[in-house]
Amino acid sequence: MTDAPPQDLFWLEPQRQQLRQAHAARRLPHALLIHDVPGGGGEQLALFAARLALCESPAAPCGQCRSCQMLAGVVPGDAATIQHPDFYWVAPIEDDEKVSQVITVKQVRGLGEELAKTSHGPTGASVAVLAPADALQYPNAGNALLKTLEEPRPGALIILLTGAPGRLLATLRSRCLRLRVRVPPRAALVDWLQRAQGPSDWDAVLDVLGDAPLLALHADARQLAAARRDTHGALDGLAGADAGALAGLAAQWSRADQLPLRLACIENWITARIAQRVGKTGDGVAMRSAMHLSERGSAPNIAPLVRAHDAARELGRLTTSPINKALALEMLFWQLSRSANP
């Protein structure tokens, strides 16, 4: 069964409608800030805004004009799929040896030079997406982008896509129209996944991945369930493990083909333990996406688990960096083994 098409991301309709209305009133801003959530569809919303701005028809996006056809095959972040001369996607540079962690000032200055030029299309529009925008090299790249935003060329649209807007310069945020992606309740997500991919234990998938529909859409439910069982079983036994066992497990799970899924399962295990300790019932996994300070203060014995959760999250953010992942995992396991008893 094929993946659900972008237009079926129904939870994005309020934001799409807001953009349609702004475009129809000729009030489309020169800068957008899309506050995304993991697997929420922020990249698809950014592409929708690009199609809207670049479409040659009054009924934008029409899907039929030359611009719409050129944008139809764009895969977010894949420069090779971008054929439209007025559309730019700026991301940390990736080559055969390593993946950069930042969008450099050189990239931003080059983008500014491109956006200053007259556009190729009849609408006069140009669109650039920076994703993730919180990867802008601090502070030089942010300041370079600010200069472009302060004197925008008419018709140029810059879209900042990020899951952490607080990491952006306040002066950048203040110059953007902000759109926030909000995923629907769990039941609606399960129904959508069943329609898109067929029956499966989607609740279990979302338990591990969080309420992240686009991550779940591409997940192998059986493989994920097996990885979850294996991971949780291993974590349940950490309390009695010696240093050698912890190191061996860390070395095994630190491999690139395992680490992202293992980390998701680890976060799921930790949040379930936190929910048990604070007396919660039902789906405590919602805490995976929002740990509240009130919960930290109300149950002191969860503090080691909260710290371990934060460490797992940070390691997930650094999976493409050159840090010693096996050592980081070993330290995380040590934290979890020491927090086994309330």
Do residue 33 and residue 115 come from a single domain?
A: yes
Do residue 30 and residue 151 come from a single domain?
A: yes
Do residue 332 and residue 246 come from a single domain?
A: yes
Do residue 306 and residue 234 come from a single domain?
A: yes
Do residue 168 and residue 268 come from a single domain?
A: no
pLDDT tens-digit series, residues 245-262: 999 999 999 988 889 889
Q: For residues 85 and 197, what is the distance between their CA atoms, to the nearest angstrom?
A: 35
Residue 167 lies in a domain: yes
pLDDT tens-digit series, residues 88-145: 999 998 765 566 789 999 999 999 999 999 999 999 999 999 999 999 999 999 999 9
Tally of domains in the chain: 3
pLDDT of residue 110: 97
Q: For residues 60 and 54, what is the distance between their CA atoms, to the nearest angstrom?
A: 8
Residue 270 lies in a domain: yes
Residue 101 lies in a domain: yes
Q: Please enumerate in sequence order all residues whose Cβ is within 8 A of that of 86, keeping only pairs 6 or more positions apart, or say none.
A: 54, 67, 119, 120, 121, 125, 126, 127
Q: Which helix (H) or strand (E) holds 234?
A: helix 221-236
Mean pLDDT within 68-72: 95
Residue 297 lies in a domain: yes
Do residue 150 and residue 13 come from a single domain?
A: yes
pTM of this prediction? 0.83
Q: What is the domain range of residue 201?
A: 185-219
Do residue 238 and residue 248 come from a single domain?
A: yes
Do residue 55 and residue 89 come from a single domain?
A: yes
CATH number of the domain that 119 lies in? 3.40.50.300
